[in-house]
Chains A and B, each alone.
Chain A
Amino acid sequence: MSDTHEKIVFQKPESVIDRPTHYCPGCHHGVAHRLIGELLDEMNLAEKTLMTTSIGCSVFLYNYLNVDAVEAPHGRAPAVATGVKRSRPDHFVFTYQGDGDLASIGMAEIMHAANRGEKICVVFVNNTVYGMTGGQMAPTTLIGQTTTTTPAGRCQTHEGAPIRMTEIIASLGGVAFAARGSLDCVKNIRQAKKYLKKAFEFQLNNTGFGFVELLSACPTNWKMTPLQANERIQKEMIPYYPLGVYKDVSEEGGVC
């Protein structure tokens, strides 16, 4: 056998199951899954993780991450995760929710879980549209964005303004960490991983609620190529949904 001098520099994380995903080309769910999988490996969390999945394209997250999981009804993942964490406080608990799930039908559950300071992490994937049900308006749909239920574009006087969840969550008392990242480019992906790690650490330190919003692409429902979708995130989404840390109690002190 010849010596090829090949060296493996990039592999699938152990916590990610080796199977093709069902996501559309250019969708960022796979990137988000990978970041979580990497952190579960790096932080040695896989055997103590209890994952709460939600409704929408990401409902099959449990097919891709090799951890125990429970499936929640539409929007209720923060309540289900509350029950999981309260019954098994020594475990690492996180939810993974889309914009329709978290910011529309599940608005009450996310607000109150955050306000109670539940020691859980919430990964919020915001692609400004309902993906699985076929491209309807989400609470985060931008003004002027066309969807199947805003065919003329979202109009603020008719449909209201897009909701900035991270800003709202950061204002609540029980929150230890709230940040918005983006998955459109390598630099932002690396930053997003740092946010996720910080949120995970706050839970492990029993500090409070961790929330990380990830701006993501839905090329299929945006009717764009993957590259166009990435451009849209940079040109349209980030200006309305600025990236950064909105709350970090390690800098401010506080929370229990």
Chain B
Amino acid sequence: MTKKAERIFVKGNEAIARGALAAKCRCFFGYPITPQNDIPEFMSSEMIKAGGDFVQAESEVAAANMLLGAGATGVRAMTSSSSPGLSLKQEAISYMAGSEVPAVVVNMNRGGPGLGDIGPAQGDYYQSTRGGGHGDYRHFTFGPGTVQEAYDLTIRAFDIAFEHRTPVLILGDAILGQMKEPITPWEPEDVDENGGRDWAITGRDGGRDKRLIKSLFLAEGELAEQNKHLQAKYDAWTDLAECEQFETEDADLIICAYGSIGRIAKTAVRKFRKDGKKVGLFRPITLYPFPSAELKALAEQGKRFLTIEHNLGQMLDDVRLAIRTVTDSDFYPIYPGNLPTPDELEEPILKCLEGK
């Protein structure tokens, strides 16, 4: 990779947009919804300057289906939205999963259910990691915790989408999207702009056989085979699971948290460490595949666990599944509509640490 010398001071939303451009994303389809509007706003000018195209669709439904069309042609394309909008995009995402169309989808999670609010939350974890649309599929899901990571993981998301012919989700929230931080932008040297050369619909140039991108499999046994194929792909993703471990080595208590809450929890952990208390942080970077093996290894060392999420207990299920044969995790929910500070996390962590 080529590191650019300059640092820039940008919002998380803009970092994602810039990361997409660096990854040679050349089509963006969006629809306004708070708190992610910086992404389509940035793309409306910058995507055109980059020689690509931008469409403000009539709805999230249409935007996601435009993404399906662009992805089917093998062009790097992206859409972004926030929670209620992601629900509408799920139709096309299921079709993209079923017909193996690569694309990147960004969800800057806001409070729900329903219209909820426009503040940060993590209530879309189930929807994101399980496959929020119909049918058996999974989203490859990144949960960036910093603005730099949002930039970096967006670039990674395009590579994974094309390598595995799958929609890849970036799950941020209103904190990450609206927070400004300095980042070091970089541009990957090895973007394969012809990533879809052997499957994408590009016209039967030279008289080659026709290609078909579809998710309908009616012949007996055909759908079962397609689902077996998809499942094998998802199983293989286990090797791509990633996490950050902070002060976990000698920790008695491990805080499990992701994204913005992982960032806030890290500050709380630092404070405990200053006081000589053995607390560590386990922060999944890929939410699906979930880094279960790494977490289980910690459980086998006799650690105790406290899961903290900006929801009422969703990633908690994955934590418990990972460590279930060894131990359990306590849970501290942060209700949507509230914005936690590191200080607010101290009490529940302390309670857990002292075994209360």
Contacts and interface: CB of A to CB of B under 8 A. Distances in A.
Interface of A: 46-50, 52, 59, 62, 66-73, 76, 79-89, 91, 108-109, 111-112, 116
B302 interface: no
A167 B206 CA distance: 40
A252 B58 CA distance: 28
B99 A76 contact: no
Given A83-B70, A87-B69, A87-B70, A73 B92 contact: yes
A79 B91 CA distance: 13
A206 to B, nearest CB: 14
Interface string B67-100: 1111111010100000000000001100100010
B212 interface: yes
A111 B62 CA distance: 11
B58 A84 contact: no
Given A73-B95, A87-B53, A108-B59, A52 B204 contact: no
A4 to B, nearest CB: 32
Contacts of A68: 201-204, 210-212
B102 to A, nearest CB: 12
Interface secondary structure of B, over-half rule: mixed
Contact of B58 (A80, A88, A91, A109): A109
Interface secondary structure of A, over-half rule: helix
B55 A86 contact: yes
A87 B68 contact: no
B347 interface: no
A88 B202 CA distance: 8
8 contacts: A66-B204, A71-B99, A73-B92, A79-B61, A83-B66, A83-B67, A84-B70, A88-B203
Nearest to B133: A73
Interface in B33-84: 53, 55, 57-59, 61-63, 65-73, 75, 77
Shortest Cβ-Cβ A-B pairs, 3 listed: A83-B69, A83-B66, A68-B201
B303 interface: no
